[in-house]
Structure 1
């Protein structure tokens, strides 16, 4: 393994490792996590294109083909679960855990890929690759609350946390108090401490999102582990900030929509409303650009507009 490959891995303590999936060749944008417990568990896989790098990192961390016990995805969006089929094939003894609303799409991803194709068009395969089917017999579907055995008395409890997606899970490690938040708390940019919401269509729902953030606060986690990107320790402040960002974006889009339903008008309104708020991020254009590529303002505003239309504003 080269020094560059080793830089892909960060030891977070207590046998928890962040693995940078190098989504679309960007570093520091999408993370998978290994809990190297008695029953090793991978949380998130990254895209299908990221799978070879993730498999290589697991091998470097001593996880052989028959060692990985569980693969868990917080939700089935392709930046989080696109590599499930490839990684499941490389680790044939691993059980795949997903919310019940997403299970059928991992077994038969045709509809999921068709939907993603409508959004991303010809760049779908270039950016994400294609999600391979997973044997349905290996998929464990969970609902509201469930427990995953990590061995040695250590567990990972899954909590249904919709709002970003109907099939979203938060995951709490009993040994560390780490809460894997997926996209339910939005994006965290460690370079500046900036947080932004993740509100894409078709599932975004403000009320569900705020309830999920309230649930996360009740869990009193020691640390938040963001899929985008990395650990945050000031958990109460971060969760409150996540809720604040959601309300601010929705308010800006709602006011814009009262004047015109045009997407471009709402995008401009959000950018104007948040310009000072995100000044530190704007001062780092490379960081700003890579997170915008992952989580564009246009896509998030489109999700909010869709929700407003469904709820009659």
Structure 2
């Protein structure tokens, strides 16, 4: 399979990281300015060679990477950053203020992920290594990086996670939104003959109201396109904003209708499956097989249930 990144125009190139051997699940992006180059997202350590080969295919060397940017510290976005960083002698790791301590010392991050993935953690995400403190560059809300001829601006965008930022790119008038503005499911992953958007409500910091505030803020930037880590580009950007707002509201509504203390996450997962099938049917797509997105369905059910259990406990 080719290691040549996909040219998305505007100086942006997309690498399919082939996470878990699956095409179309997780992307990394190379953004080239006149003077400097940024890599956005690393995926897990399993994807490191894929990234290095793609950099070479663009006629670059690892020394040409000036910034390695992670939207947040969930392992499918940043799990491999400490592993690949020694290959980039000139790069700083750019992250959200809440993320830096977990990159420098990933002990709690690993423990939290182990609670979700159990014995499968290492198989799925590989080696997780710390990032040297002197190579971490925190960007506060509204701060920028100038690549030469294009400016990256960082915005605090909670909702999926409190340690999440999104990156506005002046060169493409696009925003790299990590997991905040839905997951874009593509045929390479699902086996379907269409592309669709559904939200990510995975544990443990999903916050419906924060998602709505984030969408409103990003809309005000008037981007033309959204670059999803999972997976690819939505144009116009308004499609992703509108879709995320509606589906998040729907997910939250039916989860609250179903909730009772001790509700099995499996029951909620089945309700999500029913919603997805009905939603796709309403758009002319009659789908039975959801195996390509089953992991996400399970995580979304657990995330919704975590929020509701926590709310219930606080009322007692």
Q: TM-score, normalised by structure 1?
A: 0.92
CA contact (8 A) 1:26 1:290 kept: no
1:20 alignment partner, one of 13, 16, 19: 16
CA contact (8 A) 1:145 1:157 kept: yes
1: CA distance between counterparts of 2:234 and 2:198? 14
| Aligned CA distance change for structure 1 residues 259 and 76 (closer, same or farther; 3 Å) | closer
Partner residue of 2:225?
Answer: 223
Partner residue of 1:142?
Answer: 139
Residue deviations 1:94-144 (CA, integer Å, cap 9, x gap): 011000111011111111112111211111111111221111101011232
Please tell me whether residue 92 in structure 1 is matched to residue 89 in structure 2: yes
Please tell me whether residue 81 in structure 1 is matched to residue 78 in structure 2: yes
Q: TM-score, normalised by structure 2?
A: 0.91
Q: C-alpha displacement at 1:229, in angstroms?
A: 0.5
In the TM superposition, 1:55-70 aligns within 5 A as 55-70=52-67
Partner residue of 1:269?
Answer: 271
Partner residue of 2:190?
Answer: none
Q: How many residues align?
A: 304
In the TM superposition, 1:1-313 aligns within 5 A as 4-6=1-3, 9-37=5-33, 38-152=35-149, 154-191=150-187, 192-258=194-260, 261-279=263-281, 283=287, 285=289, 288-293=290-295, 295=296, 297-312=297-312
Instruction: Provide the secondary structure at the position in 1 that maps to 2:167.
Output: strand
CA contact (8 A) 2:277 2:287 kept: no
- Supply the RMSD in Å over aligned alpha carbons: 1.8
1: CA distance between counterparts of 2:105 and 2:260? 41
Q: C-alpha displacement at 1:260, in angstroms?
A: 6.8
| Aligned CA distance change for structure 1 residues 282 and 76 (closer, same or farther; 3 Å) | farther
Structure 1, gaps ≥5 residues long: none
2: CA distance between counterparts of 1:189 and 1:256? 26
| Aligned CA distance change for structure 1 residues 132 and 240 (closer, same or farther; 3 Å) | same
1: CA distance between counterparts of 2:63 and 2:199? 38
CA contact (8 A) 1:252 1:273 kept: no
2: CA distance between counterparts of 1:158 and 1:284? 40
